[in-house]
Amino acid sequence: MENWTKVRIIRKNVGLTQDEFSKILNITRSHLSNIESGDRGITLDIALKICNIFDISMDWFTRDLGEAPSTIHIVKKYESSLKPEKVL
């Protein structure tokens, strides 16, 4: 499976829009859209962020080594910083 396909699957499995996911990765929505369509490659920095935030093996993400994660979740230590603040 291509990395760009994995990015889309991860984003959709955690229920994030492209806007939300791109903010987490500190890239533009357009950049993310280009990654997800396969028009733009994934930098090592972006791959590391995805693997760390969602507890995914870098070997699986970059080289298809090992098993795919059975579930995808946001690592607890990142959870609070990824949720949008509510305006009262």
CATH at residue 8: 1.10.260.40
Q: Give a yes or no: residue 87 inside a domain.
A: no
Q: Tell me the per-residue pLDDT of 2-16, one tens digit each, with 9 for 90 and over.
A: 888 999 988 998 888
Q: Give a yes or no: residue 47 inside a domain.
A: yes
- Residue range(s) defining the domain that contains residue 75: 3-81
Q: Give a yes or no: residue 88 inside a domain.
A: no
Q: Tell me the per-residue pLDDT of 63-78, one tens digit each, with 9 for 90 and over.
A: 878 776 666 666 666 6
48 and 42 Cβ atoms separated by less than 8 Å: no
| Number of domains present in the structure of the chain | 1
7 and 35 Cβ atoms separated by less than 8 Å: yes
Residue type, 35: I
